[in-house]
Structure 1
């Protein structure tokens, strides 16, 4: 059975605004999550966002992981 992963990412978190783009060990948090999801057996991994900033971040690390961002 195949499956896909959709990672919801937004910047307007009530408890920690901007969490998806926080730098953790030199990478945005969303990139860490994406990289872990790519290590799973998922057929495809997507990042769903309504944020232009998150989409821009996805495009910046596209060379490494080729994420797909929706907004």
Structure 2
């Protein structure tokens, strides 16, 4: 893995772990990460947000779900 991709990989692993605490089905988590447009985050997918350097928004979004602040 190139050093340029490392932050993206680290973000993906962290986000995947948080998402799997919500839904333990890895295939659904991967599909969500790549395909589901998150309206609260500008209609972008988690993957798009990570690629643009906004992994922290996705992490905050997932944490708020785990805390019961949103569905």
Q: State if a TM-score over 0.5 links the two structures.
A: no
User: TM-score of the superposition, structure 2-length normalised?
Assistant: 0.27
Q: Which has the higher strand share?
A: 1
Q: Which has the higher helix share?
A: 2
